[in-house]
Amino acid sequence: MSAHLFAPYTLRGLTLRNRIVMSPMCMYSAESDGCATEWHLVHLGARAVGGCGLIITEATAVEPRGRISENDLGLWDDAQIAPLARIVDFCHAHGAAVGIQLAHAGRKAFSRARGFGPQPIVAPSAIPFAEGWATPHALTVDEIEALIAAWQAAARRALQAGFDVVEIHSAHGYLLNEFLSPISNHRTDEYGGDLWGRARLLFRIVEAVRAVWPEEKPLFVRISATDWVEGGLQVEDFVQLAPELQRRGVDVIDCSSGGITPTPPPPDVVGAGYQTPFAARIRQATGVPTMAVGLITAPEQADHIVRTGQADLVALGRELLRDPHWPLRAAHTLGYDVDWPRQYERARPLR
């Protein structure tokens, strides 16, 4: 049978039971030390019970100043491994693979200048995110080297915790997106200038993570395929970058958009599956596997994305907050026979 939403999908040594992915979403529920809590266990574990093929944690900071809020997850310290490993073990026991999104918020991190936070924010250039936001410190080359090492160390800890996938967060106006975008990167050294200079840090982090991330485990990168502002990144930039990311060991491009400025997408653009064309364009132009995300809510819609080759994986966010068992319901709607948790068998709909 041709590819469909409930067809298994193999990446390197990992086979997902279906193409449904829980998109990373911040829960603002971590301890102040960045450790996962009972909330994360129940929240992520419920989606494993509910039938997701892959669950990706919220943005997990590679250093304390890289958190979006003071209650975001972190993986800069060995003490943060065990609470995450408990979640991974539970999800594995219920058939789901688990990924971790490693991130740095850059100039959008919480900071003392905005009323809270331990230290100044950092960015490629000393350009604030918006009026009223702090002006970030422009990272030096030595500081960039330290950040690359932080990403690599976090990937080592992710391996110790048992994760199946690492996703590098290079979207939504956070640090790596800031380096990529000409809106926020005005550097004149090797980390600025043209697209290839602005992509240098992302390439180096991919290489550093892949150096410690086992060959049999997949590596994803999340991008903002457009900045939604004139002069910013566009999907054609990623048509150029995707093959180079793949050559460095990236297996899937997770295609989101926006966030480099407060400017939202045009109202006439936003609608069901409005970001899917980005995933389709990159996949069809380069052959690099992609993941679609953004206002994907209906089983038929998600299935159509896979069947028509627009993306290899479909990520759901808010819809999985509304319905943790969306995959089980979708399988019934689409007529696919999937395993239900034995504890829930009595609630399984009749054909």
Q: Which residues sit opposite 103 in a β-bridge?
A: 61
CA separation for the pair 232, 1 (Å, rounded): 41
Helix residue ranges, H only, the chain: 38-49, 81-93, 141-161, 175-180, 195-198, 200-212, 235-247, 276-286, 299-307, 318-322, 326-334
Largest Cα–Cα distance of the chain, in whole Å?
Answer: 64
Give the strand pairing for 313-316 and 219-224: unpaired
Positive or negative, the Cα torsion across 169, 226, 256, 279?
Answer: negative
Which amino acid, 65?
A: R
Cα Rg of the chain, angstroms: 19
Q: Active-site residues: which are they?
A: 174
The tokens for 239 are 């048509």
Positive or negative, the Cα torsion across 347, 301, 51, 60?
Answer: negative
The tokens for 24 are 């990373």
Q: 341: Cβ–Cβ under 8 A, 6 or more apart, which residues?
A: 49, 94
Question: Do the Cβ atoms of 260 and 178 come closer than 8 Å?
Answer: yes
Positive or negative, the Cα torsion across 340, 158, 68, 225?
Answer: negative
Taking the mean position of all CA atoms in its chain, how far away is CA 108?
16
CA separation for the pair 100, 235 (Å, rounded): 25
Q: How far is CA 148 from CA 41, 229, 344, in A?
A: 29, 28, 45
